[in-house]
Amino acid sequence: MGENDAIKALTARCAKQLSEMGLRLVVAESCTGGWLAKVLTDLPGSSAWFDRGYVTYSNEAKQSMLGVRSDTLMAHGAVSEETVAEMVQGALTESGADLALAVSGIAGPGGGSDKKPVGTVCFAWQKRGSRPQVASEHITGNRESIRRQSVRYLLERLSEMVYE
């Protein structure tokens, strides 16, 4: 199964789970630029479980739309577990959703550093009333591949989170 087919299958599974459980989802994206929201809303009937999506590409957007603290961005950078934790919490705070996903990363081809090379992606997921879960991954490939794999990673976490 190719990556696109895997994403479609995961999306369908998540949609079914969210519908069955009566849960609503919000997403906060940076490096994926709305790709996660797009694949989720490609499904007919997604308005029953998809609340909204934030594409907060700039630090200013992360702060004004999601309440990410400037201190967090200055101390840890936009691509950090600390930042995505605040993004996912802000998405829940600003929405009526039950579950939230967030992502920030360096998709390349430029923008990397020795400490955070291209392919560094930070993820967060949270169920309302719980603490955010965070993870960092180093994903290999070109820009499109890094972004696609990031979407798949979050869909996998969503599928697990629905039944926690």
Q: What is the pLDDT of residues 44-79, one digit of tens each?
A: 999 999 999 999 999 999 999 999 999 999 999 999
Q: How far is the C-alpha of 63 from the C-alpha of 72, rounded, in Å?
A: 10
* Residue pair 66/97 in contact by the 8 Å Cβ criterion: no
Give the bridge partners for 124, in sequence order: 102, 134
CA dihedral of 41, 45, 49, 55, whole degrees rounded to 10: 20
Quote the CA–CA distance of 102 and 63 in Å, as a whole number: 14
Task: State how many domains the chain has.
Answer: 1
What pLDDT, on the 0 to 100 scale, is given for residue 1? 64
pLDDT at 128 over 80: yes
Show the domain range for 154. 3-162
Q: Is 90 exceeded by the pLDDT of residue 163?
A: no
* Residue pair 29/103 in contact by the 8 Å Cβ criterion: yes
List the one residue out of 106, 120, 90 whose CA is nearest residue 27.
90
How many whole angstroms separate alpha carbon 163 and alpha carbon 150? 21
The CATH number of the domain holding residue 105 is: 3.90.950.20
- pLDDT value of residue 162: 85
For a pLDDT cut of 70, what percent of the chain falls above it? 99
Residue 164 has pLDDT above 80, yes or no: no
Per-residue pLDDT tens over the stretch 2-37: 778 999 999 999 999 999 999 999 999 999 999 999
130: confidence class by pLDDT, cuts 50, 70, 90:
very high
Calculate what percentage of the chain has a pLDDT beyond 90. 95
